[in-house]
Each structure stands twice: as structure tokens, then as C-alpha cells.
Structure 1
């Protein structure tokens, strides 16, 4: 059976990573969370004191990009690949609201995007991959056989993110999460390089009223049809 590239783009907290993992596991494909890659670079910048609420030393981060190594290692117990920054597991550290608050700024840097897109191209050269992010279907893999664009209202996405953070033990308010979601939407959609836009040939999935099971079944059928059409 021939394998395809499945590109899943969309706004933050639309469940892109969740459904991408499910789809990759079902199809036996490789899953790549590109958002996690940008979060890892952001965490590095924070750890080195290059970004905070008052300042962002872009030049220093660009200069230090060669020192940043991002990899994915499969965790059999959890059933998915975790993110490593310079050989250290940062899967939990990159998922904080603090990192979320800075990641869109880091992602606007052309040099950062070029470095990560180059890595993403290498990951998908043999196809059989499910990749999610902001510009997968428009920039990274414009030739992808299946492109999806995930969306939902900001309020619903903030509620999902808030519940996820509270369940994890984070102390945060819903209002702060909603503010972060709206700020990221604006920055992602208005950045100069590779802004978040729906590819003309992408299928839009509004999951505001879909359960996880309904969403997965809908997308799985689309994937099966795309694979059949490719063969």
C-alpha cells in the first residue's frame, strides 16, 4: 500500500495534535508535532534569558540556533513520541501557558522557521507521515495528498485548554487562557512569514460540536479516501 503525507493545520487548541496522533497510530504512520518544535525553541530562548515579557533578543537567538537540537523519541508506555531539546525530555515543560505566551513571537522569525522547515522536509521525504502545525499544507508540504484545516471558536478552544492545564495541576484562570488563545490567533494569522491561512485545497474541520470519536472517524474516512485515490 502506498503511503501519503497528511498535513493538518489550524488554530491553537483545536486538537490538531490529538487527532494527528490517533491517525498516525491507526495508519502506522510517523507523527510529527511541529508546534512542539517551535515550543522547544521558545523554551530554549526562555532558559537562556533571551525572551521575557519586556524584551526579545532576536539576534542572540538566531546566532544560537546551531546549538539547538530537537528530536522525537517514542515513549512506549505513553504511546506517542515525546520532544527532546538537546537530549533532554521537555515534553511537559513546553506545554506551559508561559511558553504558549512567547511561542508565536519566536515562530515569526524567518531563521527559526527555515531551520525547522528544513528538518520537517527530511522527516517527510519517505511519506507515511502525519504532520500538524500552522503552515504544513501551505509551506512545508504544499504537495501533501491530504490537507486538513482545524478550527473552532476561541471560547471553546480556551475552555478545552483551560481544563487540560487544570487537570495537569497548573494554577491558571480561564480568562488568562482565553486572552492567550486570542493573542496567538492574531499573531499566527498576521505574521509576515508563513502566516496561518487555510490552503485552497484543504478540507476545513470545525470541531466545535464534535466529540473526539466523531472527529477521528470523520478524518479517518477522509484519509482512507485520499490513500485510495493515491494508489
Structure 2
């Protein structure tokens, strides 16, 4: 039997384990698996089918159908999918199905780098190398904020640059910049604009 080499990377969100896993997989020419995407794939399938996230049999079926070699990070990284995945991930049978798939992935030559929350403890307790990657909560929050900022900028660029119905203010739109406003202040500012227009109309 050909020995495969497994690197297990665990740690909290924003610690940098995903980026580190990608770099290590490239360097050592190993397969790469972000195990969090497997749960997101199940959630995405249920959302696509319009099924309840607590439908155990449907979630189990979706888990069995997940192809670990075809996980689309761009699609599965959506916030709504992440929220749904956290609900799917608590189903014990779904976890068992996906863990088996993750173990099979790790055993595929020449080996793999897997990152997640339970790789070294549950998925691959016999991994050749186990790394627990962490960082302070403040640093992780700053990194996550930078990721969110980059995502917002990409989305704005797409929305404003599309040929069909691009995002732009109407010529007669009132600009409301909420950069320095809490929601209550934004509400009051919007109300002031609306009340001013209504007053002018009633006085006309």
C-alpha cells in the first residue's frame, strides 16, 4: 500500500489556516481540502432545492452526493451559505458521512493538506503533521475585516461595471452617506429628506 502524507491544520476563524494550507499544498504538491466547504456544499444543495436545513434525510442525501474534488469556493463562500452550513453541521449523521469522505480524500495519493476545526482530533488523528494555527481575537478580527472589505470592493466593482442596469445613483437621488452614522442617525437623516419633500409638495 502506498503511504500517503497528511498534514492536518486546525484553528479558529481568521487565524490564517486556509491561506497556510494552500501554500503548503502547493509547495509539497499535495491535494488540498478546506473541510468547511464540504458542509457549505451540503447547505448550498438544500438551499438550491428549497428544502429546510433541518431536513435530516435530505441533508444526508446531499452529503453523500458531495464531490470533494468539485467544491466551488467562489459559490460556497457566500455569507448565506455559511449561515446555512452552521445549521447543517450540527446534524450528527451528516458529520459522519462527510468525515468519511474527508478521510478518503486524505488517503488519496500522494496525500493531502486538510484544514478545519477537527482534523487532527477527529478526521485524521493519525496525520503525519498536525498544526494548530491561532492568533489573537483582535488580529483575527482585523484580518476578517480586510477580507470583508476586499469582498465588498469586488462586489461594488461588479455591480457598477455591468453593462445591464449598473449600480449608480439616479440623477435626482438624495445622497445619504452613512459612513459615520449609526442606524438610528441614518433613519433620522432619511426621514428628514422625506419630510422635506412632503412639506414642499403639500405647500405647492
TM range (shorter): 0.5 to 0.7
Give the paired residue count: 152
Matching residue of 2:20: 19
1:71 aligns with 2:68: yes
1:93 aligns with 2:75: yes
Q: Distance between the aligned counterparts of 2:64 and 2:30, measured in 1?
A: 29
Q: Distance between the aligned counterparts of 2:79 and 2:4, measured in 1?
A: 36
Q: Distance between the aligned counterparts of 2:44 and 2:137, measured in 1?
A: 25
Deviation at 1:105, TM superposition (A): 1.9
The higher radius of gyration belongs to: 2
Q: CA RMSD in A?
A: 2.5
Q: Distance between the aligned counterparts of 2:14 and 2:96, measured in 1?
A: 24
Runs of 4+ residues deviating >4 angstroms: none
User: Structure 1 pair 17/63, CA: closer, same or farther in 2 (3 Å)?
Assistant: closer
Deviations 1:124-166 (A, max 9, x none): 2245311111111111111112111122233432332232132
Q: Distance between the aligned counterparts of 1:70 and 1:3, measured in 2?
A: 20
Matching residue of 2:113: 130
Where in structure 1 are there 5+ consecutive unaligned residues?
Answer: 74-82, 84-89, 174-231
User: Structure 1 pair 110/161, CA: closer, same or farther in 2 (3 Å)?
Assistant: same
Deviation at 1:24, TM superposition (A): 0.9
Deviations 1:7-59 (A, max 9, x none): 001112222111011001111111111111111112112222234xxxx4332
CA contact (8 A) 2:10 2:118 kept: yes
CA contact (8 A) 1:42 1:103 kept: yes
Aligned residue for 2:82, secondary structure, equals helix
Aligned residue for 1:124, secondary structure, equals helix
User: Structure 1 pair 144/15, CA: closer, same or farther in 2 (3 Å)?
Assistant: same
Q: Distance between the aligned counterparts of 2:82 and 2:4, measured in 1?
A: 33
Where in structure 2 are there 5+ consecutive unaligned residues?
Answer: 157-178, 180-204
